[in-house]
Chain A
Amino acid sequence: MRIVVVGAGGLGGPIAMATGAAGADVTIVDPDVVELSNLHRQVQFGGDDLGAPKATALAAKIVGRGGRARGRAARFEPGNADQLAADCDVIVDGSDDPRTKFVVADWARARRRAHVIAAAVRYGGNVFTSAPGAACYRCLFEDPPDEAPTCGEAGVLGPLVGWVGGIAATRALRLGGGDPAVAGTIWIVDDLRTGKAARELTLARRHGCACGAA
């Protein structure tokens, strides 16, 4: 199973390490370097990694544990998506950028790849899971938001990204294992402070969405 993980930070770390530990061949894409403000939640990195490119540093940790991984220090964009992800079975977004999430989701739908889009900010998060034939990201969210808070602006409780990233990894592994039941769902923790259990919804395709015309 070949998995591309977009983002090597709070979500991408758990996603890449967990899928790598499960035997997947992992390609990690992230343009950033490790900063001190990452370390309260990005448990894959320590002080020794400050200043290092995240994608290659994370890949090295997976390889050091006997896994197969490589890092690409790049932003995932329409212009390089085919080159970065051409041979993947599943693509997972764990970036902290709403625009990138749409780039990943649109590419996956156009290229008919199973995909998982994960997000976490403050005290809540969600994991969207799709594959050809199931509801797409735009069936649910339509267009990128004009303004969406990022962790850098709004903060995030550190271990929340482990929770959401772990769920995203289980979904990616199920998709990669050929389990169709998980496609067309979204898992949501609204606000962990409420003590309410996370919930999972099954999504219908939206009438008029571009995915219906394909």
Chain B
Amino acid sequence: MSSFSPEQVRRYSRHVLLPDVGGIGQARLLAATVSVDASGAAGRVAAAYLVAAGVGTVTIDDGCARRVTAAAGFPLRPADVGGPLGAAVVAALGGRNPDARVVVGAPPADGFRLVIDGDADRLPLADAFALGGAAAAVLLHHIAIGARP
């Protein structure tokens, strides 16, 4: 497993402390690729958590180049409304974490895929955090313990 820079040690310290994650689990997250269905509000919140947690590559599946609607909340901003959804999510989340690459694209053949039941573009943000946070948490634990896609 790779060794961590001093900055990574600080950034991921609350993960490395966890039973089931530790340094090995965090290294698995850093090496992982996850494709997220970002057509719904919960998927976009989940993508923000995956990037923050240090998933190495987060692929934004924007549902055939949809546009950002006026209902879109975090991590999108009012200025994003009307623009292409995938690019807006990449702009909002890319650069958040130097360890996470955020790109627009269809799901790759390998890697993990996150599609959230009950998600919708107009989901209230409170529900988007609850649904997206839950889905991202379960997936991160799955990756950290070395489970297969």
Contacts and interface: CB of A to CB of B under 8 A. Distances in A.
Interface residues of B, number: 48
Top 5 closest A-B pairs, CB basis? A162-B133, A166-B129, A155-B17, A166-B130, A163-B133
Interface in A113-165: 122-123, 151-165
Contacts of A18: 124-126, 128-129
A17 B130 CA distance: 13
A73 interface: no
A205 interface: no
Contact of A14 (B17, B78, B124, B133): B133
Q: How large is the interface on A (under 10, 10 to 19, 20 to 34, 35 or more residues)?
A: 35 or more
Interface string A163-177: 111110110010000
Contact of A160 (B7, B48, B73, B137): B137
A172 to B, nearest CB: 8
B99 to A, nearest CB: 10
A155 B14 contact: yes
A160 B49 CA distance: 9
B126 to A, nearest CB: 4
Nearest to A122: B18
A158 B125 CA distance: 18
A158 B126 contact: no
Nearest to B79: A64
Nearest to A174: B126
A155 B126 contact: no
Interface string B134-149: 1111101100000000
A19 B20 contact: no
A43 B49 contact: yes
B137 A40 contact: no
Given A65-B77, A163-B130, A163-B134, A37 B14 contact: yes
B86 to A, nearest CB: 19
B132 A162 contact: yes
A166 B136 CA distance: 13
Interface in A67-85: none
Task: Say what secondary structure dominates the interface of chain A.
Answer: helix
Interface of A: 14, 17-19, 21-22, 35-37, 39-44, 46-47, 64-66, 122-123, 151-167, 169-170, 173, 192-193, 195
Contact of B18 (A17, A152, A155): A155
Nearest to A64: B77
A154 to B, nearest CB: 6
A43 B54 contact: no
A193 B41 CA distance: 24
Contacts of A166: 125-133
B137 A167 contact: no
Nearest to A150: B14
Contact of B124 (A22, A42, A65): A22
A36 to B, nearest CB: 4
Contacts of A43: 45, 48-49, 51-52, 74-75, 96
A193 B124 contact: no
A158 B21 contact: no
Given A41-B53, A155-B21, A159-B136, 12 more contacts: A17-B73, A17-B129, A18-B129, A19-B126, A40-B52, A41-B14, A158-B140, A159-B137, A162-B137, A165-B133, A170-B124, A192-B138
